[in-house]
Structure 1
Amino acid sequence: MLDKRVFRSDDVPAADRFDYWAELLGRTHAPMELRSDHTDDFRASQRVLDLGAVTVWSATFQPLVFRRTPKLIRQSDPEAYHLSLVVRGSGAGVWRHRETQYKPYDVFINSSSLPNDVHSSGAPVTTVALEVPKALVSLPRDMARRIVGTPVSGREGMGALLARFLTQLTDDAAPYQPTDGSRLGAVLADLTTALFAHLLEAGDCLTPESHRRTLTLRIRAFIQEHLHDPHLTPASIAAAHHISTSYLHRLFRDEDATVAAWIRRQRLKAARRDLTDPALHAIPIHAIATRWGYPRATDFSRAYRAAYGTTPKDHRYQAIHGHE
């Protein structure tokens, strides 16, 4: 079963519940100022799943006001995006640039780096939340404000994909092994990236530069989803996005690698993750290579050695048996 932490307010003396809940949220999200009309006997519960760098949790609590101030951001900023599916209750988020109302099955998007006030109402409120490091989403910083607070429905489109995945995962985590955690976290990071790219592309007020960055973000998500395809090439990517190959290369000019090099890096990174996973030790190396777009074992071995300075076989053995 996945690594899980559970909190129930009934396990804490009534006088300590609210302060303990505030401390718990500060650890799973970021330090916040909390206000509630129920501080004398606060009721809440939370289940947290640790999925590598990504964190998912479900929570039920009495109405609250969450406040993230500039001072708290200066003191501690985990540099993360926060997405919550509102299952029960309602609320509103207030930022300097936007105010948004939320109802059941809306997806709430926030950033640990932006001051905000979030008001929840209902008796009680239930949410399923996702915390994703910004480094895993690759959203340009100047575009974060276009995403935060954007209304997203969890009943249709990209929002529904994310909502269903989160709901299924938190409803029943029993079928998953601890080693599945980082893989599930990677899937959620990719879904978040795809959702952000969709929202940015749908905006009708983006500058040409923003459209260019949004297209690059969408292409990166597309590549991640098709790494298994050995026929994934700059030409096929350009065709799928109705652009020329030369324009695709121009989009990646500001990246730290060419399109082909970026594809190769992502494939090798995924293969390395599988090779060093003890749960996958019985899967042949050639099968892992094929899974990540290398049908020829010699091509895979050559690329792997060039990237990591060792063969796939030696790297796997050292990772799994090196500390025995």
Structure 2
Amino acid sequence: MDGKLQRQVLDTAALPPRERFGMWLDMLAGSPTPLRVRTAHADDFAARAEFIELGRMRLIRYRYPSLDCVRTSKLIRRSDPDYYLLALTLTGTSQAVQEGRRARCRPGDLTFYDCSRPHEVSHHADAAGPAYARSVVALVPYDALPLPHRKLARLFAGRMSGSEGVGALVADFLTRITAHPDQYHAADAERLGAVGLDLVATLLGRNLVSEDAVPTEIRRRALREQVHGYVRQHLGDATLDPGRIADAHHISLRSLHRLFEDEETTVAAYIRDERLARCRRDLTDPALGDRSIQVIAARWGFRDKAHFSRVFRAAQGETPQAYRARHLESARIVNTTASAVNPARTY
């Protein structure tokens, strides 16, 4: 076991076409929130579901041609686990209906509903777009969100933007974790789940126009994650500094510095360390071996060559040139050894 975040995958392609939809129905029947399902593609339901457990939050990445689902009162009486569901539409058009409200979602939109109340959900691929409808959902227990259930009812089957503000951060979290679980360690699953829950709680609080309902510490952690995301998106801009970050998040410079006190670092140090991490990655990439060190440094916000060399040497104990040469030579030796063990065959 390599210690990476684990995922379970169900892919109907493993079965003959006419058995695929039955496999999907069996999966849904065994889930915490079973549904009654229809599709126009029952004769060949090519679909895939990937499950990732992050502490108390479960993430599922779906791909299918089309689905129309209903969770009835009868199914709820049979299985009522007290879950909320937050869904991000990636491709196609989706729709959620609950208690008289209806949300029609396009790619980048989020919707939220209560699995313990009757609802309808549909998701179809666009005729002129990709062949599959894709989505990511987060299944969250009631008591994992510090928000009153009666207040959240106002958001059921509502559409929320996943392209701006906290919504964009939530969408980025859902897509990054489910698209690249191998980039994260299994030991971090609980912490990643806690971050996800903080972001979801903050998103819902803002859409309730009652952010004060979200505990201060949760809002603080969510804001810190939002700042982290902003920094990562703007590392290549040499003008990125604490003042610009504070302005972008409508907080004072003093408040920004307080956010980083728990991390035992400063805003400037965080920016520098993130830039150095990207530079180290590029310097050790054989595919970028013909790219100059100065170009790599500039790509991540180090515009002055001498300054970059000083900062890099202080952090790594060697010059960028020596660091690159050492790692590329190691990669060359490994590749040469692998070629010797597994020589190419000609037929």
TM-score bracket, shorter-length normalisation: 0.5 to 0.7
Gaps of 5+ in 2: 126-130, 225-249, 252-261, 265-347
Distance 2:30 2:144 in 1: 20
TM-score using structure 2 length = 0.59
Q: Which aligned pairs between 1:173-322 and structure 2 lie closer than 5 A?
A: 173-201=181-209, 215-219=212-216, 221-222=218-219
Gaps of 5+ in 1: 202-210, 228-239, 242-289, 293-324
Contact 1:23 1:31 in 2 (8 A): no
In the other structure, the counterpart of 2:161 is 153
Which residue, out of 117, 122, 146, partners 1:119? 122
Question: How many correspondences in the alignment?
Answer: 221
1:73 correspondence with 2:70: no
Which residue, out of 162, 172, 176, partners 1:168? 176
In the other structure, the counterpart of 2:293 is none
1:88 correspondence with 2:74: no
Distance 1:46 1:189 in 2: 22
Deviation, structure 1 residue 51: 1.2
Contact 1:198 1:218 in 2 (8 A): no
Distance 1:143 1:23 in 2: 34
- Structure 1 residues 226, 130: closer, same or farther in 2, change over 3 A? closer
Deviation, structure 1 residue 144: 2.7
In the other structure, the counterpart of 1:109 is 112
Query: Higher Cα Rg: structure 1 or 2?
Result: 2
Amino acid across the alignment from 1:74? R
Deviation, structure 1 residue 226: 8.6
- Structure 1 residues 27, 82: closer, same or farther in 2, change over 3 A? farther
- Structure 1 residues 195, 218: closer, same or farther in 2, change over 3 A? farther
Contact 2:86 2:110 in 1 (8 A): yes
- Structure 1 residues 125, 173: closer, same or farther in 2, change over 3 A? same
In the other structure, the counterpart of 1:277 is none
Deviation, structure 1 residue 215: 2.0
Amino acid across the alignment from 2:88? L
Contact 2:147 2:213 in 1 (8 A): no
Distance 2:201 2:29 in 1: 24
Runs of 4+ in 1 over 6 A off after TM superposition: none
State the percentage of identical aligned residues.
30
Helix, strand or coil at the partner of 1:49: strand
Distance 1:226 1:67 in 2: 36
Query: Which deviations, in whole Å up to 9, do the C-alpha atoms of 1:252-308 show, x marking residues without a partner?
Result: xxxxxxxxxxxxxxxxxxxxxxxxxxxxxxxxxxxxxx769xxxxxxxxxxxxxxxx
TM-score using structure 1 length = 0.63
Query: Which deviations, in whole Å up to 9, do the C-alpha atoms of 1:36-94 show, x marking residues without a partner?
Result: 11112111011111112211121110111010111111111221111111110002111
In the other structure, the counterpart of 2:41 is 38
Distance 2:188 2:26 in 1: 28
